[in-house]
């Protein structure tokens, strides 16, 4: 008869312990890369959304006085805990010079559901091809349009003589109020 203190555990208990050890080792092996992946996916740019980015987009001399709105891509260089990312496009802005040193800026994302808005020279209006929203040159909604608010105006600052800086920010689509994406 075997000694219960020293005899090996019964086969089903042994199998259970072996399985538990494999799971623990597997979690250790997979856990670190997973944690890195989640960090990268959750915060790919190392800057909290909702705060926006202040970027130099152009100069006054590139915006003809009284001219039509012009579209500028917004690019930022981003850094997270591990990596420095090269310039990446995060959105687009319409700029229009409406005075000697006054510039109007709109986020080019449609406030209805976020499609890209385009400028139509013939009608002098902004148009969203996704669901046919129309906006006046000052951003106001032209009815009938599904958009519940006007185009999202952005803060503009003219610095250093003629540099045009914009505080780029995204806002929640589909809302009547302008709510910053956080």
Q: Does 128 bind ligand FES (CB under 6 A)?
A: yes
Nearest approach in angstroms of CB 117 to ligand FES is: 7
Q: Does 175 bind ligand FES (CB under 6 A)?
A: no
Nearest approach in angstroms of CB 93 to ligand FES is: 16
**Contact window for ligand FES (CB under 6 A) among 38-46, 50-58, 65-73, 105-113:** 105-113
**By CB neighbour count within 10 A (0-12 exposed, 13-18 middle, 19+ buried), where does 113 fall?**
middle
Look at residues 135, 89, 95 and name the one whose alpha carbon lies nearest to residue 111.
135
**Contact window for ligand FES (CB under 6 A) among 51-59, 69-77, 126-134, 161-169:** 126-134
Of these, 14, 49, 131, 175, which contacts ligand FES (CB under 6 A)?
Answer: 131
Of these, 74, 110, 141, 164, which contacts ligand FES (CB under 6 A)?
Answer: 110
| Contact between 103 and 153 (Cβ < 8 Å) | no
Of these, 136, 146, 158, 172, which contacts ligand FES (CB under 6 A)?
Answer: 146
């Amino acid at each position: 008869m075997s000694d219960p203190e020293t005899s090996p555990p019964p086969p089903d208990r042994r199998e259970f312990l072996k399985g538990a050890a494999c799971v623990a080792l597997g979690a250790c092996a997979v856990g670190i890369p997973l944690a890195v992946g989640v960090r990268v996916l959750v915060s790919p740019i190392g800057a909290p959304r909702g705060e926006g980015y202040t970027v130099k987009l152009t100069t006054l001399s590139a915006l003809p006085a009284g001219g039509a709105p012009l579209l500028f891509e917004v690019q930022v260089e981003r850094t997270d805990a591990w990596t420095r990312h090269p310039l990446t496009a995060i959105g687009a802005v319409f700029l229009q010079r409406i005075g000697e040193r006054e510039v109007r800026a709109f986020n080019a994302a449609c406030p209805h559901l976020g499609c890209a808005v385009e400028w139509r020279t013939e009608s002098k209006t902004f148009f969203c091809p996704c669901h046919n929203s129309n906006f006046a040159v000052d951003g106001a909604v032209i009815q009938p349009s599904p958009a519940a608010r006007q185009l999202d105006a952005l803060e503009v600052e003219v610095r250093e003589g003629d540099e045009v800086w914009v505080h780029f920010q995204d806002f929640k689509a589909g809302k009547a109020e302008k709510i910053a994406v956080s």
